């Protein structure tokens, strides 16, 4: 069904661009075809004909996090409320009455991450604390995809208004199955130190007796050969082949900061492992090193180094999810990358931009969309571990997120299992079973970044959002 947006002629150009961007994403993720002049309109024009579905602009340009207040909207649609397990939604753009909500503005504040963007010069060391996110600041549940729910509500309102028939188009729900490679078995001594360090961390920091026992067992049983414990690619690839899943392997290429991995692009082991992935038909991605966010141009340098080795990269995820809003996304764009997977939380799993789907992020500098897709990081195993170090009931926590991805059905979020999870050296061995259980979930197709990008690109292009 075709749909267009009608805006007042004298509207501010920033507001115009932001509403049109959000509208195009809304159309894409609710099966409408965006057109410039359809007989069915969503109109922000006060003088417009009554035959059109009307909205009132409440949007204001957020300059500071204190500009936002929270109010609540009761969800009247019972099926949406039941599906997502909530009965009210936070509302940020509201001046007087609760009944006229500018839903596109509400969607924008989530997906653009503007709440974080306005804090871009704060000194977080480029790792955003959860408490400074929209969720953290307003005490919202990160496992609820608020922007996705607004999209469904708006879509239903429009369907009702124009009496459109609901068609349920079958969709493939892709999930990007990714592995950040933070450590490679460079030498036996290196591997021993790493294992021993993890053992101490499990006792001192995690205070997890069950896991420290597992690590002690490994230390004794494998003595004195520890290298094989960190060689996990075969195990991982066998599991993926067994479950007919594809995976993308994200490599660091530099280790100049102490928080980087233990290897770099010149190491034999790096070359060997990259070759192994390529021979097995896996996609290789760049895991942008810790210091790439400190200076613009560093990410480009890393991509060029890989290209000089004949390795072409389509996507990236930053190590420690560390990035700088002042130049990171711009650089991803300038390098014509197809996707990024950095938007997730370090402290908890869920939907950092409120959206349980792939989408092009907003470019505040040019007031348009970025030309790459974000595959939001919805689940990573270490975060599951931090959330429950006692009972190991990680499945329930991940299922709450996966269920909401499936509810929204468009897919394109990423999950992350570090390769070090596969012999119990960094995380409890139970994570392997959880990984298998997730891969066996028939609601989803677990795949790599390129496949997902190729699936979404024409869908967004149809709605006038061109991508790299
Ligand atoms: Zn990493």
Tell me if 80 sits within 8 A of 130, measured CB to CB: no
Residue at token pair 């597992």: 214
Distance 320 CA to ligand 1 centre (A): 5
Distance 287 CA to ligand 1 centre (A): 7
Distance 16 CA to ligand 1 centre (A): 38
Distance 341 CA to ligand 1 centre (A): 12
Pairing mode, strands 88-91 and 174-181: unpaired
Residues 77-134: tens digit of each pLDDT: 999 999 999 999 999 998 666 568 999 999 999 999 999 999 999 988 899 999 999 9
Across 255-273, average pLDDT = 95
On the question of pLDDT at 352 being above 80, the answer is yes
Q: Tokens standing for 136?
A: 């953290």
Report d(CA 269, CA 231) in Å as an integer.
10
Distance 339 CA to ligand 1 centre (A): 17
Report d(CA 214, CA 227) in Å as an integer.
17
Report d(CA 26, CA 8) in Å as an integer.
20
Report d(CA 376, CA 369) in Å as an integer.
16
Distance 319 CA to ligand 1 centre (A): 4
Residues 217-254: tens digit of each pLDDT: 999 999 999 999 999 999 999 999 999 999 999 999 99
Distance 214 CA to ligand 1 centre (A): 23
Distance 29 CA to ligand 1 centre (A): 30
Q: Tokens standing for 427?
A: 């995380």
Tell me if 198 sits within 8 A of 425, measured CB to CB: yes
Q: How far is CA 159 from CA 21, 31, 52, 166, 226, in A?
A: 21, 11, 12, 8, 61
Distance 92 CA to ligand 1 centre (A): 34
Distance 298 CA to ligand 1 centre (A): 17
Residues 171-226: tens digit of each pLDDT: 789 999 999 999 999 999 999 999 999 999 999 999 999 999 999 999 999 999 99
For 204, the 3-state DSSP assignment is: helix
pLDDT value of position 319 = 97
* Cβ neighbour number for residue 390 with a 10 Å cutoff: 8
On the question of pLDDT at 166 being above 80, the answer is no
Chain-centroid distance of CA 82 in Å reads 25
Q: Tokens standing for 453?
A: 């990008």
Tell me if 373 sits within 8 A of 362, measured CB to CB: no
On the question of pLDDT at 461 being above 90, the answer is yes
On the question of pLDDT at 47 being above 90, the answer is no
Distance 395 CA to ligand 1 centre (A): 23
Across 22-48, average pLDDT = 94
Q: What angle do CA 309, 312, 317 make, to 5 degrees?
A: 110
Residue intervals in the chain for CATH 3.20.20.370? 174-462
pLDDT value of position 48 = 77
CATH superfamily of 174-462: Glycoside hydrolase/deacetylase (3.20.20.370)
Distance 43 CA to ligand 1 centre (A): 45
pLDDT value of position 459 = 95
Distance 109 CA to ligand 1 centre (A): 28
pLDDT value of position 94 = 84
Distance 165 CA to ligand 1 centre (A): 46
Tell me if 357 sits within 8 A of 110, measured CB to CB: no
pLDDT above 70 coverage of the chain, percent: 99
Distance 373 CA to ligand 1 centre (A): 20
Distance 106 CA to ligand 1 centre (A): 32
Report d(CA 423, CA 235) in Å as an integer.
9
Tell me if 150 sits within 8 A of 104, measured CB to CB: no
What's the pLDDT band for 49 if we cut at 50, 70, 90?
A: confident
Residues 357-411: tens digit of each pLDDT: 999 999 999 999 999 999 999 999 999 999 999 999 999 999 999 999 999 999 9
Distance 207 CA to ligand 1 centre (A): 23
Distance 461 CA to ligand 1 centre (A): 32
Tell me if 41 sits within 8 A of 6, measured CB to CB: yes
Distance 259 CA to ligand 1 centre (A): 9
Q: How far is CA 402 from CA 131, 140, 303, 356, 398, in A?
A: 23, 18, 32, 9, 6
Residue at token pair 């896996």: 282
pLDDT above 90 coverage of the chain, percent: 93
* Beta-carbon contacts of residue 67 (< 8 Å; ≥ 6 apart): 60
For 191, the 3-state DSSP assignment is: helix
pLDDT value of position 100 = 84
On the question of pLDDT at 432 being above 80, the answer is yes
Report d(CA 29, CA 154) in Å as an integer.
11
Q: Tokens standing for 125?
A: 């060391």
Residue 73 forms beta bridges with which residues? 89
Tell me if 346 sits within 8 A of 127, measured CB to CB: yes
Select from 136, 70, 83 the least CA-distant residue to 356: 83
pLDDT, averaged across the chain: 95
> H or E stretch including 284?
strand 283-288
């Amino acid at each position: 069904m075709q749909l267009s947006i009608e805006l007042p002629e004298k509207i501010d150009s920033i507001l115009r661009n932001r509403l049109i961007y959000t509208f195009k994403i809304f159309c894409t993720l609710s099966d409408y075809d965006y057109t410039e002049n359809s007989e069915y309109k969503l109109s922000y024009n006060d003088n417009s004909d009554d035959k059109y579905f009307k909205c009132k602009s409440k949007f204001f340009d957020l300059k500071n996090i204190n500009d936002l207040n929270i109010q609540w909207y009761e969800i009247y649609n019972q099926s949406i409320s039941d599906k997502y397990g909530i009965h009210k939604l936070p509302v940020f753009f509201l001046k007087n009455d609760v009944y006229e909500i500018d839903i596109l503005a509400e969607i924008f504040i989530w997906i653009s991450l503007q709440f974080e963007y306005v804090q871009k010069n704060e000194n977080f060391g480029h790792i955003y604390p959860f408490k400074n996110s929209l969720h953290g600041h307003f005490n919202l549940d990160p496992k609820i995809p608020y922007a996705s729910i607004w999209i469904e509500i708006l879509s239903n309102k429009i369907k009702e208004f124009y009496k459109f028939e609901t068609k349920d188009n079958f969709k493939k729900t892709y999930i990007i199955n990714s592995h950040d490679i933070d450590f490679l078995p460079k030498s036996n001594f290196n591997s021993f130190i790493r294992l021993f360090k993890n053992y101490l961390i499990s006792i001192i920091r995690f205070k997890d007796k069950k896991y420290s026992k597992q690590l002690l067992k490994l230390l004794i049983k494998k003595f004195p050969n520890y290298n094989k414990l960190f060689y996990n690619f075969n195990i991982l690839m066998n599991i993926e082949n067994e479950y007919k899943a594809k995976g993308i392997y994200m490599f660091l290429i530099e280790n100049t900061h102490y928080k980087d991995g233990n290897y770099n692009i010149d190491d034999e082991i790096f070359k060997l492992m990259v070759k192994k992935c390529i021979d097995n038909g896996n996609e290789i991605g760049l895991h942008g090193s810790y210091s790439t966010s400190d200076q613009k141009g560093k990410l480009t340098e890393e991509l060029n180094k890989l290209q000089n080795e004949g390795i072409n990269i389509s996507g990236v995820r930053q190590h420690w999810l560390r990035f700088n809003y002042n130049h990171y996304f711009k650089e991803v764009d300038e390098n014509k990358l197809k996707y990024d997977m950095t938007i997730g939380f370090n402290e908890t799993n869920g939907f950092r931009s409120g959206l349980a789907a792939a989408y092009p992020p907003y470019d505040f500098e040019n007031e348009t969309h970025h030309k790459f897709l974000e595959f939001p990081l919805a689940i990573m195993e270490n975060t599951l571990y931090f959330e429950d170090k006692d009972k190991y009931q990680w499945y329930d926590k991940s299922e709450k997120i996966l269920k909401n991805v499936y509810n929204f059905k468009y897919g394109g979020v990423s999950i992350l299992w570090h390769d070090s999870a596969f012999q119990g050296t960094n995380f409890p061995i139970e994570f392997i079973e959880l990984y298998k259980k997730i891969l066996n979930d028939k609601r989803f197709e677990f795949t790599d970044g390129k496949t997902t990008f190729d699936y979404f690109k024409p869908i967004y292009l149809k709605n006038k959002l061109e991508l790299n």
